[in-house]
Structure 1
């Protein structure tokens, strides 16, 4: 069984001294907190303080609202997104995962700086290299937090030491984008050097994680959004911005940057430590492809080899990530259907023969969920999808445990009545939180956990949240190869990923290969919070993030002579009609503005620090 890293909250007090009092009772230390001097003089307390840095990880399946909801892949059920409507500003930065809140990030960076400052010359006996390990983890986490900000805001101020009370000036200007990239890479090189050869608990930073994050950082840095000549040619807003050095490289060779990205990704591949079923010479069966994909996100059956840096959750306590199933299962299972796949994402999944799905193709339109990429079935809950046993209040209506996203005639064809699907917004189970798009998330939900209680939300799960996985790094390698004109190498690795999923090889070239690559990455990494960054750095956001959210409406009409109960919704009994449409603009009215390439720094932060310059389109 995997060792689960328990995240320990330690309150560290540094330099709290009462002056002018000599009474002993006024000089006592609190019983529930450890003073800073004690923390860094004791190996166990220092370990706990560094462990607390991992509580800054917020990506993946932790929050009720997945970041896919600010992309074309998903919709948030409980409120429209200002980010998707391009109406954010320094006064209204819109919904943002806590990872990217300026103050939260700098609080975690300060904690990492405190650790590095106090571990520079350890004040405790460093047996088994514990001080080097803690320093390595601290360098990694500082780099991780800075990169979270970099890929959201562009350049940020680099703070290398913790500010203290009484410091003469707390204001600091943003460094250049290039300086930020170099600083993060330097931290990751330091982390790799200190962590190499160390045996680490599951969930902690490792040598491989440091190399993998470096590959991500350099891939983003090489992208068009951060090559200012290329970005300026595509965006007048960026072209007219006075501080372009905050957004990317104003000079230099983009091809050289892609070479660095390629080399960094290849260094991870050459470790021969990670990778699940990527040594295939031909596609596996569709059934095995679906199982391979499921194994990776549940970390079972060998799929854990794809995880390089993962946050684990303990289902024995009420951690946010343990509630992913409750937050996202359909309302017909007493879930909340919070983050819902859109029709936009569903249409991105290819047919089994590798051709594109097409609503103008009569065969596709008549059976849109047949013969699709096996990853579709492992990611999306759709009408008719086999799922799991219903809770007692739904089992009598649906004894087979199949998703009901439509309206269906029941009874006899001569005298039918209409049944509202159990997983719709008109459900007889719960009618307040059903899907708006006609879909739900299957990925990251442990289907083996049955409904042991009447209210399924009482059941937690321990599915891990991937922060970086090996397949992402392979995608970075493929992308760099394409950008460098090494198409044969790119195709070889792209087809390895497709073979694992049961999909046929492709042989595209030129722009078609890049389009295929981008689609492949999107469906493989769905709901792993990559899309928001990728669409922006590829500068395809106007055509993707700016799309209207597409939804589906499904109705089943009894065929003549048929008499069926409320759950026998097979094609033998029904004629199905599928209607695809834009979401009601009252729910969400998506549009793109180039100011969304770089998020605004909040007005409060601008007021606190008069040396900050805001991003293009957000200067007001």
Structure 2
């Protein structure tokens, strides 16, 4: 099995390299490699398809905007280390983003791959492959096209749909934006069509390709967004930015879409005793929880950018105290409501704040005295208190480093083994949370309870006397909504959800204008065990100045190409 997994990873890496500069396709004369010759060859056709796959994770990439700056560092999850006025984490957090300096990848990378899909589909009927394989390739390609369109609409709202047309370099490209509803309907239809064609599983060298489950899972995410307040009832720009009419029934459709994934009986939460499954799942290339992942060979990518300096990382993504505080206690309660006492020994202790916490906290945040592998291949504490050598407060602005997804046996140094990790793009845990949210909004609180309890059980939270995993009886839609929103924040942290969630919930103007904090930790004396004091400090106050920030501006360079292409309001 390990050999098959290794070969699959090598296949994906080689196929990706084949379409990059210096890769296999570059080793032939360019005069010999034309569109016709590419699709007259079965191997080159598969390489062309794999090239479309290589960008599948760009939006969620922890290094999307350079260095360690990803979407997680332009919201209230982590403070990035880049300080330049032109660094994207600074531009977004200070409200300095504009149509001139906005990243172009959400537009350029997506449309480039949509065009590649159309090119592939236009030649597929004549490619020298079996009909069965051509059908599967069509399913993969149509999923990928839907995937890239979804990235577009979460950034901008409705965008131009180009169908199957392949535009040439000199062809006039229509710039008129389709309505949000038209875009959702198109993406949904592509997901459903792909799901009809694609297999539920792959083995051997095909492992990592998109499946029926991935197509249904993308539909679940799509319809959850479409039912959310930002898009479900927005009349400006003649429906380009959302449905003009707010229809609560869209939540029912979103709930059913999530249930369709559940009913495949193909996926489950990766469970180990004590919540260890939440940690281990991120280090495994193959598991029963990942529905879609950005494939990669064995790597130390996240260790290199997230681990502290003593663990040979750069420690350049530093969690805010707000993310730290979102993790409740091991009893499943908020830390403000579950204080430690003689009658409640497993409650939160402000004098010892990192014990008795939701086990996901220990696997997501590297805190003072948290344990990590070092260069001697032993596990030792990381000290982040003020004045501590190397990893202390002079190195982490917030008092924390990221721990999530890091392998216990891996650091950035090549003296350690590399991990099998592939970055998750859709996990089954997300589908259960989608199901919980949509069901709650549709008035089905019992289903919401069931899904949240399943997530918390896997996390290692104590069940309590009533097996409610910290959930109170008799929650209303509003109180359950708050629970689910926080559950998404901690379960899906650092996976490119939080930034978009607070926007689709239309609460960014409330949560994104508040000061974000760190924790200054001071050691008291030299006794053993060490004791500390904790002081909340200000890190930054992000700027969410106007409603226009709910959507990105279309890059001005693209708007300038077509008089039909309308810019988003306010930009």
TM-score range, shorter chain: 0.7 to 0.9
Q: How many residues align?
A: 527
Q: Which residue of the partner structure matches residue 124 of structure 1?
A: 128
Q: Distance in 2 between matches of 1:453 and 1:594?
A: 47
Q: Which residue of the partner structure matches residue 424 of structure 1?
A: 392
The offset of 1:11, in angstroms, is: 5.2
Question: 1:297 aligns to what SS in structure 2?
Answer: helix
Structure (1 or 2) with the larger CA radius of gyration: 1
Q: Distance in 2 between matches of 1:292 and 1:197?
A: 23
The offset of 1:152, in angstroms, is: 0.9
Question: 1:34 aligns to what SS in structure 2?
Answer: coil
The offset of 1:183, in angstroms, is: 0.8
Q: Distance in 2 between matches of 1:8 and 1:400?
A: 36
Task: Give yes or no for contact 1:541–1:592 (8 Å, CA) kept in 2.
Answer: no
Are residue 598 (structure 1) and residue 566 (structure 2) matched?
no
Task: Give yes or no for contact 1:290–1:377 (8 Å, CA) kept in 2.
Answer: no
Pick from 354, 357, 371 the counterpart of residue 356 of structure 2.
371
Task: Give yes or no for contact 2:373–2:380 (8 Å, CA) kept in 1.
Answer: yes
Distance 1:607 1:453, change over 3 A: closer
Q: Which residue of the partner structure matches residue 568 of structure 2?
A: 615
The offset of 1:166, in angstroms, is: 3.9
Q: Which residue of the partner structure matches residue 263 of structure 2?
A: 270
Pick from 231, 245, 249 the counterpart of residue 226 of structure 1.
231
Q: Which residue of the partner structure matches residue 575 of structure 1?
A: 531
For each residue in 1:5-60, what CA deviation from the matched residue of structure 2 results, as whole angstroms up to 9, or x when unmatched? Answer: 32434559xxxxxxxxxxxxxxxx82696321112122222111111101112144
Task: Give yes or no for contact 1:140–1:191 (8 Å, CA) kept in 2.
Answer: yes
Question: 1:611 aligns to what SS in structure 2?
Answer: coil
More relative contact order, 1 or 2 (CA 8 Å, 6+ apart) = 1
Task: Give yes or no for contact 2:156–2:551 (8 Å, CA) kept in 1.
Answer: yes
The offset of 1:617, in angstroms, is: 1.5
Q: Which residue of the partner structure matches residue 512 of structure 2?
A: 545
The offset of 1:461, in angstroms, is: 3.8
Q: Distance in 1 between matches of 2:337 and 2:227?
A: 36
Q: Which residue of the partner structure matches residue 381 of structure 2?
A: 402
The offset of 1:589, in angstroms, is: 4.5
Distance 1:498 1:126, change over 3 A: same
Question: 1:155 aligns to what SS in structure 2?
Answer: coil
Are residue 72 (structure 1) and residue 80 (structure 2) matched?
no
Q: Which residue of the partner structure matches residue 436 of structure 1?
A: 397
The offset of 1:343, in angstroms, is: 0.5
Pick from 100, 110, 116 the counterpart of residue 111 of structure 1.
116
The offset of 1:297, in angstroms, is: 1.4
Distance 1:32 1:269, change over 3 A: farther
Task: Give yes or no for contact 2:198–2:211 (8 Å, CA) kept in 1.
Answer: yes
The offset of 1:480, in angstroms, is: 0.9
Are residue 82 (structure 1) and residue 60 (structure 2) matched?
no
Q: Distance in 2 between matches of 1:573 and 1:125?
A: 68
For each residue in 1:478-512, what CA deviation from the matched residue of structure 2 results, as whole angstroms up to 9, or x when unmatched? Answer: 11110110001110111111111122421333211
For each residue in 1:209-246, what CA deviation from the matched residue of structure 2 results, as whole angstroms up to 9, or x when unmatched? Answer: 101101111110011100225xxxxxxxxx7x4x0411
Task: Give yes or no for contact 2:436–2:447 (8 Å, CA) kept in 1.
Answer: yes
Q: Which residue of the partner structure matches residue 443 of structure 2?
A: 485
Q: Which residue of the partner structure matches residue 409 of structure 2?
A: 448
Q: Distance in 1 between matches of 2:216 and 2:429?
A: 14
Question: 1:365 aligns to what SS in structure 2?
Answer: coil
Question: 1:402 aligns to what SS in structure 2?
Answer: strand
Q: 5+ residue gaps in structure 1?
A: 13-28, 230-238, 279-283, 316-320, 408-418, 427-433, 563-571
Q: Distance in 2 between matches of 1:32 and 1:558?
A: 74
Q: Distance in 2 between matches of 1:244 and 1:581?
A: 45
Q: Distance in 2 between matches of 1:547 and 1:198?
A: 45
Q: Which residue of the partner structure matches residue 243 of structure 2?
A: 249
Q: Distance in 1 between matches of 2:569 and 2:444?
A: 35
Q: Distance in 2 between matches of 1:379 and 1:90?
A: 34
TM-score by length of 2: 0.86
Are residue 532 (structure 1) and residue 499 (structure 2) matched?
yes
Task: Give yes or no for contact 1:438–1:553 (8 Å, CA) kept in 2.
Answer: yes
Task: Give yes or no for contact 2:233–2:247 (8 Å, CA) kept in 1.
Answer: no
TM-score by length of 1: 0.80
Pick from 331, 335, 340 the counterpart of residue 318 of structure 2.
340
The offset of 1:582, in angstroms, is: 1.3
Task: Give yes or no for contact 1:312–1:462 (8 Å, CA) kept in 2.
Answer: no
Are residue 41 (structure 1) and residue 45 (structure 2) matched?
no
Distance 1:499 1:400, change over 3 A: closer
The offset of 1:469, in angstroms, is: 1.0
Q: Which residue of the partner structure matches residue 313 of structure 1?
A: 296
Task: Give yes or no for contact 1:556–1:575 (8 Å, CA) kept in 2.
Answer: yes
For each residue in 1:564-604, what CA deviation from the matched residue of structure 2 results, as whole angstroms up to 9, or x when unmatched? Answer: xxxxxxxx443311011211x5xx65444321101101111
1:135-150 pair list within 5 angstroms = 135-150=138-153
Q: 5+ residue gaps in structure 2?
A: 21-27, 84-88, 341-347
Q: Which residue of the partner structure matches residue 86 of structure 2?
A: none
1:10-49 pair list within 5 angstroms = 10=18, 30=29, 34-49=33-48
Distance 1:33 1:71, change over 3 A: farther
The CA RMSD measured in Å over matched residues stands at 2.5
Question: 2:349 aligns to what SS in structure 1?
Answer: helix
Distance 1:36 1:322, change over 3 A: farther
The offset of 1:355, in angstroms, is: 2.2
Q: Distance in 1 between matches of 2:337 and 2:32?
A: 62
Q: Which residue of the partner structure matches residue 156 of structure 2?
A: 153
Q: Distance in 2 between matches of 1:32 and 1:197?
A: 40
Distance 1:205 1:373, change over 3 A: same
